[in-house]
Structure 1
Amino acid sequence: MNLTRTGRVGALCWLAATPVFLVASLVTGLRWREPTYSWATHNISDLGNVHCGSWDTTRPRYVCSPWHPLMNTATVATAVLLAVGLLLTWRILGRGPVVRSAQTLLLLAAGGYALAAGYPADVNENLHVLGAFLIMGLGNVGLLLAGFAPSGTTLGRYRRLTLTAGLIALVGTALFAAQQGLGIGVGGMERIAVLPFPLWACCLGVSLAEPPPLRDLALSAPTSEGILPISTTETARSASWGRGEG
């Protein structure tokens, strides 16, 4: 897709958001000692907890994350990248109530990342839970809603991807809320609920930022001052050869 510079920056922000979040999760988790961090057992929030100690009455576990500043900083960066990506691609994705409602809910989800990182669960649990609700609740509803964007819009071109991501995210949210791990652990189920939005944004970022094919560039080349598009020039030349004029 041939984007403006602003749109391309937005697409690149989306592309970067997921790697920032996943790399920080991996590195921060590797710094855990006794216990080691488990993506199946521990929540994502455990990586950002400030204090060491027993945590959570529903699933009691010992949490101690020495590099929590890295995780919280990276989560804020993810929030900024997702939000900037949404704002800079706002008009590109299309118009209409469905598109705008989906974009608004996803923007709230991006804010949820910042809220959850700014208020770790062991510092202010209420605000942290609110951030999680914005991500897994409103954000995942927005992601599913984006799958119903009109087919004539840019967002509508990615309907199959978007609907799949939205359905997976909402099922993951429901199972996580019910504390059901289904073989991957409750922590693993939380990732099923949280990751579809940034992964979806990353896929769209890759697709939107991809340079247009040379053929499309030729077809869109200026024709003023007698300069024909490359494809048109080649067509005319072939026609003249066919008439023995070459």
Structure 2
Amino acid sequence: MNLNGTGRVGALCWVAAAPIFLVASLVTGLRWREPTYSWAIHNISDLGNARCVIWDSSRPRYVCSPWHPLMNAATLATAVLLATGLLLTWRILGRGAVVRSAQTLLLLATGGYALAALYPADIDENLHVLGAFLIMGLGNVGLFLAGLAPRTTTLGRWRPLTLTAGFIALTGTVLFFAQQGVGIGVGGMERVAVLPFPLWACCLGVLLAETPAQVPAPVSVTDHNSMIGER
């Protein structure tokens, strides 16, 4: 497989998405005071909440995120980068029902990131929950489905990586919605459900970016003479 310029830009978008999201999560969390932010206790969404309130009746906790605009901006940027990467690599990854279904579900997941960013949980909980469903529900199904892509496709070349990411993501999703922390806390389990997609996209972006550039086929002497004759 040779990668054209458009595909390379898409791959680089994928490479950038996860670091932006993770760095913003870390920096925003470090700005918390009384309480300090805990990746085991607090949800990712808590970083983007706009107000300081006691949040979540099922797991009450005080949420106060001074740098929530940074987290929401980074989450929106992640959505744009992941979606752009998908669209620019759409044809490169292969054809067929499995590949297209996986791509469509993953594209819907990028819309979930956008919803989560634009509608923090304490501003519009319904739209925020819809975004979470698109990410952890449809998106993780799409990621697992991508792992079933035929080996003859570009996507199928990295089946072990994709299947592993999809399995981890779906397992994390089931345990998170069941509110089971399994030693890492419910907040930690949410990250097991959310992070595999952007991390997988980052890894796949690196692998794609390392492929040779598409080189135009050389024109033979016969073809060159024919072109001259046609003039």
**Which band: TM-score by shorter chain?**
over 0.9
Q: Report what 2:146 is aligned to.
A: 146
Q: CA deviation at 1:151?
A: 0.9
**Unaligned segments of structure 2, at least 5 residues:** 222-231
Secondary structure in structure 2 of the residue aligned to 1:18:
helix
Secondary structure in structure 2 of the residue aligned to 1:62:
strand
Write the mapping of 1:205-216 to structure 2, written as runs, cut at 5 A: 205-212=205-212
Q: CA deviation at 1:75?
A: 0.2
Q: State the distance in 1 between where 2:145 and 2:171 align.
A: 15
Q: Report what 1:199 is aligned to.
A: 199
- Post-superposition Cα deviations, 1:54-108, rounded to whole Å, max 9, x if no partner, equal 0000110000000000000000000000000000000000000110000000000
Structure 1 residue ranges, 4+ long, deviating more than 6 angstroms after superposition? none
Q: State the distance in 2 between where 1:167 and 1:210 align.
A: 26
Write the mapping of 1:48-127 to structure 2, written as runs, cut at 5 A: 48-127=48-127
Q: Report what 1:5 is aligned to.
A: 5
Q: State the distance in 2 between where 1:224 and 1:9 align.
A: 31
Q: State the distance in 1 between where 2:76 and 2:61 align.
A: 25
Q: Which moved more, 1:204-213 or 1:46-55?
A: 204-213
TM-score normalised by the chain length of structure 2: 0.92
CA-atom RMSD in angstroms: 1.7
- Post-superposition Cα deviations, 1:110-146, rounded to whole Å, max 9, x if no partner, equal 0000001100000000000000000000000000001
**Unaligned segments of structure 1, at least 5 residues:** 226-246
Q: Which amino acid aligns with 1:167?
A: F
Q: State the distance in 2 between where 1:80 and 1:128 align.
A: 17
Structure with the bigger RCO (C-alpha within 8 Å, sep 6+) is 2
Identity value in percent: 82
Q: CA deviation at 1:26?
A: 0.4
